[in-house]
Amino acid sequence: MHDLVIRNGRVIDGAETPAFLADIAIDNGRITAVGKIAGAGRREIDAAGLIVTPGWVDIHTHYDGQVTWDPYLAPSSWHGVTTAVMGNCGVGFAPVKPDRHDWLIALMEGVEDIPGAALAEGITWGWETFPEYLDSLDGQPRVMDVATQVPHGAVRAYVMGERGARNEPANAEDIAEMSRIVGEGVAAGALGFSTSRTMLHLAKDGEPVPGTFAAEDELLGIGRAMSAVGHGVFEMASDMAPAEDEFQWMRKLSAETGVPVTYGLLQSPIKADGWRRLLELTEEARAEGAQITAQIACRPTGMVLGWQSTVHPFIGRESYRKIADLPFEARLTQLKDPEVRARIIAEPSRAMGPLGMILTKGFDRMFRLEQPEGLDYEPAAGDSIAALARTSGESPDAIVYDMLMEKDGRGYIYLPLLNYAEFSFDHIHEMMNHPNTVLSLSDGGAHCGVICDASFPTYMLTHWARDRSRGPRLSLEKVVAMQTRDTARLYGLEDRGVLAPGMKADLNLIDYDRLAIEAPEMAFDLPAKGRRLIQRARGYVATIVSGVVTYENGTATGEMPGQLIRGPQQAITAMAAE
């Protein structure tokens, strides 16, 4: 008698094996057989007509605060994620001194657009060191497994105080203590260390994240501490400018210590083909013995602009600024007034810098997100607001205004920024097929007021494997492997990501024909009524973690089998050999 038997499913096993029909038996949280199962299960699920996949392993999330109060870690869990890696981009909440709680909250709010009031109300601080933070997470009920990384920003501020916060150079004593703390955190169970070296990541006060300008000796010292523990991934967000200089220390760190280094890679409008050079440098570094992998995204990093979003095209106009602080319904009443509309449309925007210019006047990069056939994250150039204005004779400002007023003021404009090369998306397909890349960058839990990319896993299946019409697709087998086996292996999670005997029983049962992502909506369900953009999914018939069903047909079962992951994990090879 097995604990659970899933019968008659179309298995997409995560190892890029061609899809096959099979049953799956589960016992004590592990897969014990795949094939024709003769024995019965205490519970059985008929998966006829469904695809059966491993649970998604999302390696780039920012649930570091939310994990302390939310056992569901939505919206990621709504999209079949069964393992989430937090602590990316050098920001997190440990280590921390008792008088620096608010400072770390402001750092996270500035970098990741997570409401500070929600973090302040939601987090119950019960730790100072990183191991104590892990202990506070261990044993808390949740629907999925979570893993952490030690964040450079918190470590630097903890060791160096204001000098660290201001990005002053670290001396030998500083480096020794930071290295000790990182080693301690990795030894306690962190899967790695993260840092940020991009000027896009600014604290709420406008200062770059601590560690942004860290010198080679500081980075190498931390890498050596990780090597001494024996595991850990060095994760980095960087402008990679100049790229050759960044790769010099990355190559040295990985080749000398054996520590894998991974960095975020997105196509930039400033240098459209720069990503090719970065992948060339990655290949060269790997040929020299360095383990370097680029983390890539499956669609443009794009903002969802609406009246309730953090930003929108009219945020710098004086007539809008006069009503900006009104409660939404009162503001909506004003926005519906034809005279208010006319004034806002006619007014120039105040100067807001290069990014502000794109946000307020980049009409050639603004699109209607919701189309009759569904959400369009690969819009054609002819569908831009600027193109619509040219053909209709209406001003682009008026078109945007009226789109935002749809759905009773809850309409959205899509503004793709990075990964959007001259209205083409085939470069993303090329990135995803490169041997030295891994799927990542969903930012689950972050950028609450303007981005909702926690839907990446569902988008991979619906868009890249099933629906894409403007370019080449990917096989369903590859799409599944990219976000299960491949992401798990990068972080040493060898016990999951493939449906085979001995592996952890994390699975999704999916009605593939019905699978869809719903439109974004603004919710105010964080602590202190904090806002966040959310996206739900249709078509997940069941999500299973450690052999326990956590969601059925999109509804949580109340079961909480999720665990804190401490360090690399191995499959049970004896079971796999049977």
Does residue 347 sit in the same domain as residue 447? no
Examine the pLDDT at 573 and tell me if it is beyond 90: no
Does residue 67 sit in the same domain as residue 51? no
Instruction: Indicate the pairing of strand 521-526 with strand 20-27.
Output: unpaired
Does residue 94 sit in the same domain as residue 225? yes
The residues that bridge with 2 in the sheet, in sequence order, are 41
Is 546 a domain residue? yes
Does residue 80 sit in the same domain as residue 141? yes
Q: What confidence category does residue 577 fall into, taking pLDDT thresholds of 50, 70 and 90?
A: very low
pTM: 0.96
CA 359 to each of CA 26, 292, 319: distance values in angstroms, whole numbers, following the listed order = 50, 34, 17
Does residue 110 sit in the same domain as residue 232? yes
**Residue 514 in contact with residue 106, Cβ under 8 Å?**
no
Is 156 a domain residue? yes
Per-residue pLDDT tens over the stretch 134-159 = 999 998 999 999 999 999 999 999 99
Per-residue pLDDT tens over the stretch 508-533 = 999 999 999 999 999 999 999 999 99
Number of separate domains in the chain? 3
Q: Which run of H or E residues covers position 96?
A: none
Examine the pLDDT at 576 and tell me if it is beyond 90: no
Residue partners of 172: CB distance under 8 A and separation at least 6: none
Of the three residues 383, 418, 453, the one that is the final residue of a domain is: 418
- The pLDDT assigned to 366 comes to 96
Is 573 a domain residue? no
The residues that bridge with 295 in the sheet, in sequence order, are 264, 438
Is 426 a domain residue? yes
**CATH number where 214 lies:** 3.20.20.140
Give CA torsion, residues 497, 503, 508, 509, to 10 deg.
130
Is 574 a domain residue? no
- Name the more confident of 460 and 354: 460
Does residue 466 sit in the same domain as residue 517? no
Alpha-carbon gap, residue 328 to 103, rounded angstroms = 29
Residue partners of 18: CB distance under 8 A and separation at least 6: 477
Of the three residues 358, 385, 418, the one that is the final residue of a domain is: 418
Q: How many CB atoms lie within 10 A of CB 44?
A: 14
Burial label, 379 (beta-carbon count in 10 A; 0-12, 13-18, 19+) = buried
Angle between helix 328-336 and 338-346 (nearest 10): 90
- The pLDDT assigned to 423 comes to 64
Average pLDDT of 422-426? Answer: 75
- The pLDDT assigned to 354 comes to 81
Per-residue pLDDT tens over the stretch 97-126 = 999 999 999 999 999 999 999 999 999 999
- The pLDDT assigned to 351 comes to 85
CA 127 to each of CA 124, 131, 147, 297: distance values in angstroms, whole numbers, following the listed order = 9, 8, 17, 33
The pair of three-digit structure tokens given for residue 142, joined into one six-digit string:
């949740």
Per-residue pLDDT tens over the stretch 365-374 = 999 999 888 8
Q: 């703390």: which residue's tokens?
A: 181
**CATH number where 33 lies:** 2.30.40.10
Examine the pLDDT at 502 and tell me if it is beyond 90: yes
**Residue 48 in contact with residue 510, Cβ under 8 Å?**
no
Residue partners of 61: CB distance under 8 A and separation at least 6: 73, 76, 84, 85, 86, 88, 442, 443, 444, 445, 446, 454
| SS3 state at 436 | coil
Examine the pLDDT at 173 and tell me if it is beyond 60: yes
Does residue 316 sit in the same domain as residue 384? yes
Q: What confidence category does residue 578 fall into, taking pLDDT thresholds of 50, 70 and 90?
A: very low
Does residue 411 sit in the same domain as residue 431? no
Is 361 a domain residue? yes
Does residue 108 sit in the same domain as residue 177? yes
What single string gives the DSSP state of each residue in 3-49? EEEEEEEEE--SS-PPPEEEEEEEETTEEEEEE---S-EEEEEE-TT
The pair of three-digit structure tokens given for residue 193, joined into one six-digit string:
């260390």
Mean pLDDT of the chain: 96
Does residue 468 sit in the same domain as residue 551? no
Alpha-carbon gap, residue 151 to 108, rounded angstroms = 11
**Residue 209 in contact with residue 91, Cβ under 8 Å?**
yes
Examine the pLDDT at 420 and tell me if it is beyond 90: no
Q: How many CB atoms lie within 10 A of CB 169?
A: 13
Alpha-carbon gap, residue 143 to 166, rounded angstroms = 38
- The pLDDT assigned to 271 comes to 84
- pLDDT > 90 in the chain, percent: 91
Is 565 a domain residue? no
Q: 């050639």: which residue's tokens?
A: 364
Examine the pLDDT at 358 and tell me if it is beyond 70: yes
Does residue 70 sit in the same domain as residue 21? no
Domain that holds residue 93: 59-299+421-490
Q: Which run of H or E residues covers position 521?
A: strand 521-526
| SS3 state at 312 | coil
Does residue 383 sit in the same domain as residue 447? no
CA 19 to each of CA 25, 52, 82, 424, 499: distance values in angstroms, whole numbers, following the listed order = 18, 10, 21, 30, 12
Is 36 a domain residue? yes
Average pLDDT of 73-80? Answer: 98
Cis link prior to 242 (omega < 30° from 0)?
yes
Q: 């404009």: which residue's tokens?
A: 413
Q: What confidence category does residue 575 fall into, taking pLDDT thresholds of 50, 70 and 90?
A: low
